[in-house]
Structure 1
Amino acid sequence: MAEILFPALFLLLILGLPVAFAMAISVFAAIMLASSYQPLVVVKEMFSGLDSFPLLAVPFFILASEIMTGGAVTLAILRLAQSLVGHLRGGLGHANVVSSAMFAGISGSALADAAGPGTMMIRMMEKGGYDRPYASALTIASAVVGPIIPPSITMIIYAMQDQNVSVGSLFMAGILPGLVITVMVILANARVSRQRNYASGAPMPPFAEIARAALFALPALILIVLIVGGIRFGVFTPTEASVIAVFYALFVGMFVYRSLRLRDLPAIVLRAALTSGAVLLILGAARAFAWVLIIESVPQYLAQTIIAWDLAPIVFLLAVNLLLLVFGLFMDPLPGVMILVPILAPISFALGIDPNHFAIIVIVNLTLGLTTPPVGSLIFVVSSTVGLKPSTLIREMPPFFIALAVALLLITFLPFLSAWLPKASGF
């Protein structure tokens, strides 16, 4: 069946079919043309992939993100970021990156980062004298931290595929790598700002103003501590944390920032439901796709082949980086995790690689695919919001591709960045 599965998938992706439908149709084609299984087994496997209690955390985190992305919350984060770094050369660009890192602790999604504070920062940067294509490219690069800094939808899905990690351990493992990516993008922005003479956005504010901005943003930022701390100390499970995040977001939006009204809730719930439906459809199709690979013994064959090569762990990680970067050109992170982790994670474990370290490498690689053509979702989301052609944004991306590549190499060669916090936290 594999000889039909992969050509069908790539053909459908080239034709522009959504990933979920491309995977489901390719599985149906493989089943009907090259097996004795009934097509109904595809539907069964899709539902089996969604029949999971931990998976309930995904729609609840999406709903919490929709509630928290109201105007007041986003403005509070942008105000704090600008007060911290806005006075530096390229300060509005730095504020873009810092606000994305802060917002990542609320949304757990790169696309939400780009569509929320990212879009607002593009407008602010353009008014501050930055070229719109450059501001848009910076937003694309800074949004990469969305699935890296906890909470993260991708990490929840990963933990369901690899029994050697947990959602809590991955949440802790993503903090330092997320900060590394943030710093590298800031350095790239600083270099370009010097070359193009992008001035600072404002004079350095007094400490009292920074303190007021921090206090105003504190209710939003507490959500990160609430989720990670609650999971770490066993107060609640990740699924329960997602529900608590929803109620906390409602409380903050309605009673702290007072930017959320009851009449806003139906539209918010509808947006969250549509997003959740799209995500879950992808996960179901990916489960059926992975099932075909398993019954065809593809993971076992690849595992035996790679182990027989007797690669050193670091050589294996470099090979995985190349594989995942290429895979990310054509596939979004969630189906990538569903398909590749059952194949690659057992091999890395057999080679003695820390499971949390390997997980972060996989997640970072697949997330970088959102910034690269031809499928890069971040490129198309940002280009549609700013009214520019994707090719115009891609021409501004090389400095950030270099920065993200350096961050990836640091994460790969310095395993303590991903492994230290989970161990220090008792996971």
Structure 2
Amino acid sequence: MDTFVLLGSFFALMIVGVPVAYALGLAALAGALWMELPLDAVMIQIASGVNKFSLLAIPFFVLAGAIMAEGGMSRRLVAFAGVLVGFIRGGLSLVNILASTFFGAISGSSVADTASIGSVLIPEMERKGYPRDFATAVTVSGSVQAILIPPSHNAVIYSLAAGGGVSIGALFMAGVFPGLLLGLTLAILCLFIAKKRNFPKGEVIPLRQALRICADALWGLATLFIILGGILSGVFTATESASIAVVWAFFVTMFIYRDYKWSELPKLVHRTVKTVSIVMILIGFAASFGYIMTLMQIPLKVTGFFAALSDNRYVILLMINVLLLVLGTLMDMAPLILILTPILLPLVTKLGVDPVHFGMIMMVNLGIGLLTPPVGAVLFVGSAVAKLKIETVVQALYPFFGAMLLVLAMVTYIPAISLWLPNLMFK
């Protein structure tokens, strides 16, 4: 009955349209009242949930990504990717994916990636003879790399949801190969489609112009090397790297590129504060929800349920993947990480799955959920940028879903894809 009160009130609130963050907080209050707990305990959990040094990485990385997205970074990264792969048949689709790789490694946000890269490349791809729905499908699927490749905001949230025992630096390193694997798989798919549908070839950019484009883009790409180089060398932590990224992004945007007006900065900071406040409210309420779940022994009950179905690790991971894919279509990524990590992590660690590896499994699963209706945030943004109906974009995404499911299977059942680099760097 305890579980029914907590989860039932949460889903009932969701059904009537209460935002996820508030639904979590109100459900936690309902569970506390049912268990006759003092409400002070819930308030303490909300406060302690956001009173963590590692959470500073989120506002700093969001601000750094916003500065770079609006300061001309995406346009320069697109041009740089065009130098590398734009001359191949279907080259603009490869440019799209490669630009998402670069920008995702700087912004850490799939939504920002889709909005920035899509606004540049979707019209350009259509002008060059690509169908608009295909261009949109490439853009939104390629942007999923941003939640895998460091610095991923969601990796920070997962570390928090795991109780802080999983290193953010290890999660950052674990996402490198899964992110690159996703980009490579999508690129191969695009090459196949380009050949089948006879998409146009791009032009080879003259050497002098190519060198100018590369030099212009290197200022932005240096952000990635500063962040990862500093973490791996031990000069600063993953959290401290976020503040350094803000300083570097501000310097490059305002003093090197100089495409952004000083008068626009207050508006940009205001938008960032709004975004971060929503995330922090969600984290605080999710902490209280997780506290009540623990008192009700819900994680233990879920572990017992899965153990009763099978004792085979691979079968249970398959069932968890199906569960995450289904839930990813119904809820946004951050709340699902905060809700499900305390429930599923004890189960998979008992089966011998490394917490860092499981973090990557969750990221890929829920990243696919970002592209699926009815709650696919990236799908909505891509459709809005392209001015297409959501069902039109979803139809174009079918082959891309197949490619992403293949990557999910490889990340799930080949732990070395996620663990080789962090084991090399941190052990």
> Which TM-score band applies after superposition, normalised by the shorter structure?
over 0.9
Query: Which amino acid in the other structure matches residue 263 of structure 1?
Result: S
Report the equivalent of 1:322. Answer: 322
Query: Which amino acid in the other structure matches residue 228 of structure 2?
Result: V
Give the conservation status (yes or no) of the 8 Å contact 1:84–1:210. Answer: no
> How far, CA to CA, are the matches of 2:322 and 2:165 in structure 1?
23
Q: Please state if 1:423 is matched with 2:423.
A: yes
Report the equivalent of 1:97. Answer: 97
Report the equivalent of 2:176. Answer: 175
Q: How many residues are matched? A: 425
> How far, CA to CA, are the matches of 2:16 and 2:91 in structure 1?
42
1:13-412 correspondence to structure 2 within 5 Å: 13-32=14-33, 34-39=34-39, 41-162=41-162, 163-200=164-201, 202-307=202-307, 311-412=311-412
Which TM-score applies when normalising by structure 2? Answer: 0.94
> How far, CA to CA, are the matches of 1:39 and 1:374 in structure 2?
34
> How far, CA to CA, are the matches of 1:98 and 1:16 in structure 2?
38
> How far, CA to CA, are the matches of 2:210 and 2:378 in structure 1?
31
Q: CA deviation at 1:40?
A: 5.2
Query: Which residues of structure 2 form unaligned runs of 5+?
Result: none
Tell me which moved more, 386-395 or 50-59. Answer: 386-395
Give the conservation status (yes or no) of the 8 Å contact 1:100–1:118. Answer: no
- C-alpha change, 1:11 and 1:87, in structure 2 (3 Å) is farther
What SS class does the counterpart of residue 330 from structure 1 fall into? coil
What SS class does the counterpart of residue 138 from structure 1 fall into? helix
> How far, CA to CA, are the matches of 2:298 and 2:290 in structure 1?
10
Query: Which amino acid in the other structure matches residue 176 of structure 2?
Result: I
Superposed CA RMSD: 1.9
> How far, CA to CA, are the matches of 1:210 and 1:246 in structure 2?
28
Q: CA deviation at 1:149?
A: 0.4
What SS class does the counterpart of residue 417 from structure 1 fall into? helix
CA deviation profile, 1:181-213 (whole Å, cap 9, x unmatched)? 11111122223323332212x222345544332
Query: Which residues of structure 1 form unaligned runs of 5+?
Result: none
Q: CA deviation at 1:39?
A: 4.6
> How far, CA to CA, are the matches of 1:183 and 1:38 in structure 2?
53
Query: Which amino acid in the other structure matches residue 266 of structure 2?
Result: P
Query: Which amino acid in the other structure matches residue 61 of structure 2?
Result: F
Q: CA deviation at 1:161?
A: 2.8
CA deviation profile, 1:220-278 (whole Å, cap 9, x unmatched)? 11111111221122111222111111111111112221223432221111111111111
Give the conservation status (yes or no) of the 8 Å contact 1:83–1:209. Answer: no
Tell me which moved more, 313-322 or 171-180. Answer: 313-322
Q: Please state if 1:9 is matched with 2:10.
A: yes
CA deviation profile, 1:165-195 (whole Å, cap 9, x unmatched)? 2011111110010011111111222233233
Give the conservation status (yes or no) of the 8 Å contact 1:108–1:150. Answer: yes
Q: CA deviation at 1:18?
A: 2.6
> How far, CA to CA, are the matches of 2:134 and 2:9 in structure 1?
37
Query: Which amino acid in the other structure matches residue 417 of structure 1?
Result: I
> How far, CA to CA, are the matches of 1:369 and 1:377 in structure 2?
9
- C-alpha change, 1:41 and 1:386, in structure 2 (3 Å) is farther
> How far, CA to CA, are the matches of 1:63 and 1:386 in structure 2?
25
> How far, CA to CA, are the matches of 2:305 and 2:349 in structure 1?
15
CA deviation profile, 1:78-106 (whole Å, cap 9, x unmatched)? 10111211111211111111111110011
> How far, CA to CA, are the matches of 1:137 and 1:29 in structure 2?
42
Query: Which amino acid in the other structure matches residue 108 of structure 1?
Result: G
- C-alpha change, 1:322 and 1:263, in structure 2 (3 Å) is same
CA deviation profile, 1:351-405 (whole Å, cap 9, x unmatched)? 2223322211111111211111111111112222332221121111101100111
> How far, CA to CA, are the matches of 1:125 and 1:137 in structure 2?
12
Give the conservation status (yes or no) of the 8 Å contact 1:164–1:355. Answer: no
Give the conservation status (yes or no) of the 8 Å contact 2:140–2:379. Answer: yes
Query: Which amino acid in the other structure matches residue 342 of structure 2?
Result: P
Query: Which amino acid in the other structure matches residue 77 of structure 2?
Result: I
Query: Which amino acid in the other structure matches residue 360 of structure 2?
Result: I
